[in-house]
Amino acid sequence: MKQKPFILINFKKVSGERAIALAKELEGLDRSILEIFDLAVAVLNHDSCSIVSETTLPVFLQDFTDPGDRQMATPGIRGVILNHPEKAMSHSRIQQDLESAQQRNLQVILCASSLDESAAIRDRYCADFIAVENRDLIGKDISLAESSGEYVEQALAGANGHRILFGGGIKSSRDINFVIDRGGAGVLVSSLIVKAEHPLEALTGLLDPKNYKNMTTRSEEASCQ
């Protein structure tokens, strides 16, 4: 069965009441958009319980502060990001946290900050998603589609059934279409939304249905099970 493109809004350092307010605002996204996209937010661990209880948004943890922390068992926590370029991890820690997440039926987004690291991760681990994030584009006003076409193509060429996400350089619907048209599973977005003066308006503009056609991804799930 084909799946909706996955869009993860990473709140990064947005925290406390600000994070709750942002989540509540984004929850107002038009239902027609959610018929096309699978949307979730990634929040700091100490905010996760509040956001789960006060919104209906699917929530990912930004990492495991402690593999035994209580947020992992909170109903409504859908998954966790591991090895984000800003929170790089050792192989032993990746394995430990991956196993902890899988034992609790949490989805795992395992990040890579280069094509070589992406290949190594695909060969070594089985995660629900592998997110390839080009460090040169994170937080910059540079379009993925305009600057990194070959990078995307190379990352997807070795996917081997893995669901590949892209982060960095997601500036418009063109970037998302670029990823999905080539077989990607979705994107990670942060600054474009969380730093916007009107985040819901920014997200609505990014995901406006009129800019997308036939938006399903090719891969069903990772084939490394």
In a domain, 58, yes or no: no
Task: List 165's β-bridge partners, or say none.
Answer: 131, 186
Q: Rounded to a whole number, what is the largest CA-CA distance in the chain? A: 45
Report the 10 Å Cβ neighbour count for 182.
17
- pLDDT band for 57, please (50, 70, 90 cuts): very high
What number is the average pLDDT over the span 189-199?
Answer: 95
Per-residue pLDDT for 160 more than 80? no
Question: What is the per-residue pLDDT across 98-155, written as a single tens digit (0 to 9) for each?
Answer: 998 888 889 999 999 888 899 898 889 989 999 998 777 676 777 888 877 788 888 8
- pLDDT band for 55, please (50, 70, 90 cuts): very high
C-alpha distances in Å from residue 53, one per residue of 12, 48, 49, 57:
20, 9, 6, 10
Hey, is 100 helix, strand or coil? helix
Per DSSP bridges, beta strands 164-167 and 186-189 are parallel
Per-residue pLDDT for 218 more than 60? no
pLDDT mean across residues, the chain: 87
What is the set of active-site residues? 84, 133
Task: List 77's β-bridge partners, or say none.
Answer: 59
What number is the average pLDDT over the span 21-30?
Answer: 97
In a domain, 86, yes or no: yes
DSSP code at position 72: G
The pLDDT value recorded for residue 68 is 56
The pLDDT value recorded for residue 115 is 87
In a domain, 145, yes or no: yes
Hey, is 129 helix, strand or coil? strand
pTM listed for this prediction? 0.90
In a domain, 46, yes or no: no
Task: Write the CATH number for 116.
Answer: 3.20.20.70
In a domain, 223, yes or no: no
In a domain, 52, yes or no: no
Residue 13 region by backbone torsions, left for phi larger than 0, else alpha for psi between -120 and 50, else beta = alpha
In a domain, 51, yes or no: no
Per-residue pLDDT for 33 more than 90? yes
3-state secondary structure 196-207: CCCHHHHHHHHC
Q: How many domains does the chain have?
A: 1
Host domain of residue 146: 6-35+67-211
DSSP string for 87-98: G---HHHHHHHH
In a domain, 50, yes or no: no
Question: What is the per-residue pLDDT across 86-101, written as a single tens digit (0 to 9) for each?
Answer: 778 888 899 989 998 8
- pLDDT band for 56, please (50, 70, 90 cuts): very high
Per-residue pLDDT for 221 more than 70? no
